[in-house]
Amino acid sequence: MPLCVLEDIRKSYKMGDADIEVLRGIDLQVEKGEFLAIMGTSGSGKTTLMNIIGCLDVPTSGRYLLADKEVSRLSDDELSLIRNEHIGFVFQNFYLLPYATVLENVLLPSLYVEKRRDNFEKKAVELLQTVGLKERMKFKPPQLSGGEQQRVAIARALINEPDLLLTDEPTGQLDSKTAVEIMGLLVEMNKNGKTVIVITHDPNIAAYAGRTVRISDGVIIQ
């Protein structure tokens, strides 16, 4: 069963009088439980595509079905609900709150969910255990290494039990050994049933995925 279905997705930006089409007709299906890599050179449209897949932005035209629901034409508020329920994000720059503890950072996405708080605390501690940082729970992000910060970001991405883990250059700031650890963690999450999409320009990172699609100049070429 597909989790994401993209049909003829286009995205253009107005530059003065001209429309610049950055995505030029993307057709893509992502199956539930898949580990997909999206590769392409700088400027090819990877982040633009990720923003659409992640419901951070809407396409100019085309259809996007996420978990059987059409999300291509939703308002910002509707998109943020869908995002919170279905998608966990991991970015190159971690984006942790520097003055909040590791535990508070992991709990952050759960603040928007109406369920009992103590359940989330328990879950957050379990996730920190999974990523090997339970002992660092009371630390603040600046006291952690880059790899540790990214592991916190992965735990945070999973707190709401999303269907999809969407990662944009998750190892871009990390040395190659730490990158291997982070990719190992994503592989583990995928084995546990999470659908994972990793966006990268690095073939060594794409090699962890079960399938790779290549984007060039706003179209999928392979």
Ligand X SMILES: Nc1ncnc2c1ncn2[C@@H]1O[C@H](COP(=O)(O)OP(=O)(O)OP(=O)(O)O)[C@@H](O)[C@H]1O
Report the interface residues with ligand X, using CB under 6 A.
Answer: 13, 22, 40, 42-48, 201
User: What is the spatial distance between Cα 142 and Cα 144, in angstroms, rounded to a whole number?
Assistant: 5
Q: How far is the CB of 129 from Mg ion (least distance, A)?
A: 32
Question: Which of 38/185 has CB closer to Mg ion?
Answer: 38
**Residue 167 interacting with Mg ion (CB under 5 A):** no
What does 201 interact with, of Mg ion, ligand X, none (CB < 5 to 8 A by kind)?
ligand X
Instruction: Indicate the length of the chain as a whole number.
Output: 222
Return the number of the residue (49 or 144) whose C-beta is nearest Mg ion: 49
User: Which of 28, 37, 45, 47 forms a contact with Mg ion (CB under 5 A)?
Assistant: 47
Residue 92 engages Mg ion in binding (rule: CB under 5 A): no
| Nearer of residues 102 and 170 to Mg ion, judged by Cβ | 170
In the bound state with ligand X, the residue whose beta carbon lies nearer, of 47 and 149, is 47
Q: Using alpha carbons only, give the angle 40, 23, 90 rounded to the nearest 5 degrees.
A: 55
Judged by beta carbon distances under 5 to 8 A according to partner kind, the member of ligand X, Mg ion, none in contact with residue 42 is ligand X
Q: What tokens does 69 get? A: 């629901």
If one asks whether residue 200 binds Mg ion (CB under 5 A), the answer comes out as no
Binding residues for Mg ion, rule: CB under 5 A, are 46-47
